[in-house]
Structure 1
């Protein structure tokens, strides 16, 4: 089979591909740049040119890995945003030089149409404004794809391609052996606006009244750390802020994981805790809805509803058998075909070849 794959790589004509990767502060999106670039390069089917801002982490990585790089200055980026017809001039590329352009930002799609025959947009959230200039758009979830089709009025082909996940754990992290011992409930985040940790703190305050023996921890760091700690000091001083932890360290500390963010197209921490066999509870946003199969794998709660989150957590604390079932279903779900890197690469290549 491998011999056939390598033979196909040799006989199939290579396509030219422009990979537009703007600067981004979200670590998950930057990791997605690496993910897409790795699989496109690994296929051996494309001559890839990276377009990235001068001095960006991704531009530096492209240089180190030997990719052709067209740096885009901040001035050029702002000018291209207003006058996309200048793309061939400001990027020093001729009209229709590329077979495909893959854009990780909507504003670039109009301009990339000037230098590529087919433009594929990758939307890493649910903000699809501007992607109408692309020929195809990649959404992470079925819910996001529905939004895209409604917003773009079916003028653009919308494909669903969730991020893959490579499992790191071999076994389910067990619950405490003492069946009457307290369980630990944890959450993690970037400590930024919209991470939902305030809702977790309020839920902990409510739950502590009926389950005082339960322990609560929050992992992570970020700009709002002081504000979150101040809120916890006022209403839930029993919460432990444990700082940034590796997936292994977090999985060792907690028995139940809560994802409380109101807008999550994809959650790596959720996947990591499922990988460890930690029982998970999440808000019903697009990413978790798909990952947890609409609540069939683990419970989903309404966005921002601290009371219902506390009710759900109390139900888990009072039923160890229920927790064990969720642990098993989370562990098995993340190992299903949907998350396999090989399947992601196949789907991505099929999408590019059909463009």
Structure 2
């Protein structure tokens, strides 16, 4: 069975992680022939996975978004049973080359995938939204991403922990509006006035870099900007991780931090609420509410034993089998089998 994997996205983050996850799982199944159609800047997976790459030019990337009715020259000689589209606007363009177009809804906005035959959602909220838009229940599938750690996690108890030690708090991601980093800066300014020894690190870069640095300067420079960092180095350097996203369908970085035994505080958005359990392995706050975030930070700063308990619980939670690659692979195979079987039944 021939499968097309397609995205025009070139930025590091959730879509790239998910794209590789799907390619990794399906290329390990011998019954599938995998071809991925991406811009060159996307990492090449041909050596790592059993998959063939087709180069998407800058012009083709532009046309996919603006002129879906135009043919795709690179796909002319191909016919796919399944097309896995990681961008909603791509679905219409690949209909003529794929029997079944499956949209991977990364952003909990299923309306963007109106041209997909089937829809994979990451959270129950996205599933409900898809139903409210009138999509047939039989074409909606819930499949959260998996998390496969690259290193072994370890957190050891420290009986010498004292109240109000120097605590380092971090946040990381692309500097775009939806990541909510102004809320993180506001909360950092509040906490630094009360606990000046506390350090705040903000890792990443993006289109709002200048704006965020200026905003931090106006707030008294409560955070230190580190640029992009290796998570393997960043996680051990912090005690608490904040995820201030305004919208977060999954949150790979949250899973990575939990794996490394970092206590986490996150917004009440779909991904974190599905991954974590409030008051058990994470603290939550409303998006854009810097006062509530500051309250959560005070809780973990002033109670180091509670912080340590959250660190241990985070590791335990993220090792749950529902986040495993095997569970993801089995569910994805089941979805594809069901879709192709229904097609065969309808034709017979």
Answer yes or no: same fold by TM over 0.5.
yes
Q: State which of 103, 107, 121 in structure 2 corresponds to 1:125.
A: 107
For residues 229 and 158 of structure 2, the distance between their equivalents in structure 1, rounded to whole angstroms, comes to: 19
Q: 1:269 to 1:73 in 2, by over 3 A?
A: closer
Residue 346 of structure 2 is matched in structure 1 by none
**What RMSD, in angstroms, separates the aligned Cα atoms of the two structures?**
2.8
Are positions 1:158 and 2:144 aligned together? Answer: no
Query: SS in structure 2 opposite 1:110?
Result: helix
Residue 43 of structure 1 is matched in structure 2 by 29
Query: SS in structure 1 opposite 2:250?
Result: coil
Segment of structure 1 superposing worse, 281-290 or 79-88 = 79-88
Residue segments in structure 2 that go unaligned for 5+ positions in a row = 340-348
Are positions 1:279 and 2:279 aligned together? Answer: no
Residue 155 of structure 2 is matched in structure 1 by 172
Are positions 1:352 and 2:344 aligned together? Answer: no
Are positions 1:52 and 2:31 aligned together? Answer: no
Residue 12 of structure 1 is matched in structure 2 by none
- What does 1:249-264 align with in structure 2 at a 5 Å threshold? 249-264=233-248
What's the TM-score, normalizing by structure 1?
A: 0.84
Contact persistence 2:118–2:139 (CA under 8 A): yes
Query: SS in structure 2 opposite 1:330?
Result: helix
Residue 175 of structure 2 is matched in structure 1 by 191
CA displacement at 1:342 relative to structure 2: 1.3
Query: SS in structure 2 opposite 1:40?
Result: helix
Query: SS in structure 1 opposite 2:331?
Result: helix
Query: SS in structure 1 opposite 2:92?
Result: helix
How many residues are aligned here? Answer: 337
- What does 1:15-30 align with in structure 2 at a 5 Å threshold? 15-30=1-16
Q: State which of 243, 265, 269 in structure 1 corresponds to 2:227.
A: 243
Segment of structure 1 superposing worse, 190-199 or 252-261 = 190-199
Query: SS in structure 1 opposite 2:96?
Result: coil
Contact persistence 1:87–1:115 (CA under 8 A): no
Q: 1:321 to 1:20 in 2, by over 3 A?
A: same
Are positions 1:326 and 2:306 aligned together? Answer: no
What's the TM-score, normalizing by structure 2?
A: 0.85
Query: SS in structure 2 opposite 1:212?
Result: coil
Residue segments in structure 1 that go unaligned for 5+ positions in a row = 1-14
- What does 1:13-162 align with in structure 2 at a 5 Å threshold? 15-53=1-39, 55-57=40-42, 60-62=44-46, 67-76=51-60, 84=68, 87=71, 91-93=75-77, 97-154=79-136, 157-162=139-144
